[in-house]
Amino acid sequence: MGYYIKVEKGVNIYIEDVNPSANKTILFIHGWPANHQMFEYQFNQLPVLGYRCIGVDLRGFGKSSNPWSSYSYDRMADDIRVIIDTLQLESITLIGHSMGGAVAIRYMSRYKGHQVNKLTLAGAAAPVFTMQPDFPYGTSVEVVNELLNKTNSDRPRMVQDFSDIFFQSYLSESFQHWFQSLCLTASGHATAKCLETLRDEDLRRDLPGIQVPTLILHGKWDKICPYVLGELMHVYIKDSTLVSFEYSGHGLFYEEKEKFNEEIAKFID
């Protein structure tokens, strides 16, 4: 079931709600620059196990509105708060992948984990996505700036190049085309603005404030958010568990989808 939720004047966020009568709810936040459909192989399996799965298209992505401004983690966390309150969700599991993980972390800090019982961070773009003078991990600012240049000059080629390093394992040509098509449904402007957010934001102060059990899932071969970021999040978040995906890159939700789904179900139950 798909519908829209108004989060502010002129901005409507698209929601996919599967198995809404289930007692246990999982809210999924996708990564850059895809949309909720990247979790197809969670949405067709986890509801069978009795979970309500809610997918969000972040502003500027998928079927959601694409405003000209407001693509900070704060604003996207505010959108998540409106969605949770509008749907009257309680005791949910919040799952964020890549930039979606960063948004989930900011939500937990900004709203003190409002109505979130458990948190899952999958290949999250945290503690910081880019290298800093006091943080020698992650992606270089120069690489992000080059992605920005490609986004503004040849976005289809940028998406193709990005998808080439997104997954570690072999993918069919059809799957690659499908995944790239998800990324190209995004607004070009939102794609660029969220790259700037990824480049410039810092979540190190947010992580210690997370007070719920947290499952960190991270691919050992991740070329976008290196595995060391998962290790650092595990250090920063007190009640956290780190699970390595030995055969995955950034796309662990698909590359080891059975393990991914099993770890989530085990964590929730």
Any bridge partners for residue 12, and if so which? Answer: 6
Is 140 catalytic? The answer is no
The packing angle between helices 173-184 and 155-166, to 10°, is 130
Structure tokens at 182: 């998800």
CB atoms within 10 A of CB 156: 11
**How, if at all, do strands 92-97 and 116-122 pair?**
parallel
Is 202 catalytic? The answer is no
Is 114 catalytic? The answer is no
**Would you give the end-to-end CA distance of the chain in angstroms?**
25
Catalytic residue among 36, 57, 65, 98: 98
The length of the chain in residues reads 269
What torsion, rounded to 10 degrees, do the Cα atoms 171, 177, 179, 184 define? Answer: 160
Q: What is the DSSP letter of 135?
A: B
Catalytic residue numbers read 98, 222, 250
